[in-house]
Amino acid sequence: MKYVDLNSDIGEGYGAYKITSDEAIINMISSANIACGFHAGDANVMDQTVKLAKEKNVGIGAHPGFPDLMGFGRRMIHMESEEIYRMVAYQIGALQSFCLINGVSMQHVKPHGALYNLAAKDTEIAHAIATAIYDIDKNLILYGLAGSKLLTMGKKAGLKTASEVFADRTYQSDGTLTPRTSTNAVISNDAEAVKQVLQMITEGTVTATDGTKVPVQADTICVHGDGEHAIQFASRLKVELEQAGIQLKRIGDTNDEK
Give 103-119 pLDDT, tens digit per residue.
Answer: 999 999 999 999 999 99
CA distance 45 to 167: 26
Tell whether the model's pLDDT for residue 175 goes beyond 80.
Answer: yes
Q: Is 124 helix (H, G, I), strand (E, B) or coil?
A: helix
Task: Give me the pLDDT at residue 225, please.
Answer: 63
CB distance 36 to 66 below 8 Å: no
Q: What is the mean pLDDT of residues 135-146?
A: 97
Evaluate whether residue 120 is within a structural domain: yes
Task: Give me the pLDDT at residue 21, please.
Answer: 81
CA distance 32 to 61: 6
Please give the mean pLDDT across all residues of the chain: 93
Overall domain count for the chain: 1
Task: Give me the pLDDT at residue 231, please.
Answer: 83
Evaluate whether residue 258 is within a structural domain: no
Task: Give me the pLDDT at residue 181, please.
Answer: 87
Count the residues in the chain.
258
Label residue 256 by pLDDT band (50, 70, 90): very low
Tell whether the model's pLDDT for residue 200 goes beyond 90.
Answer: yes
**Ranges of H-type helices in the chain:** 22-25, 43-55, 81-101, 113-121, 123-136, 149-157, 190-202, 230-243
User: Which CATH number is 178's domain given?
Assistant: 3.20.20.370
Q: What is the mean pLDDT of residues 160-167?
A: 96
Evaluate whether residue 79 is within a structural domain: yes
Evaluate whether residue 166 is within a structural domain: yes
The percentage of the chain sitting over the pLDDT mark of 90, rounded to a whole number, equals: 84
Task: Give me the pLDDT at residue 232, please.
Answer: 86
Task: Give me the pLDDT at residue 144, please.
Answer: 97
Q: Region of 208 please: left (phi>0), alpha (psi -120 to 50) or beta.
A: beta
Please tell me which residue, 229 or 161, carries the higher pLDDT value: 161
Query: What digits encode the pLDDT tens for the residues 39-70?
Result: 999 999 999 999 999 999 999 999 999 999 99
Evaluate whether residue 60 is within a structural domain: yes
Q: What is the mean pLDDT of residues 226-253?
A: 85
User: Quick one: how many helices (H) and strands (E) in the chain?
Assistant: 8, 10
Containing domain of residue 197, as a range? 2-253
Q: What is the mean pLDDT of residues 125-137?
A: 98
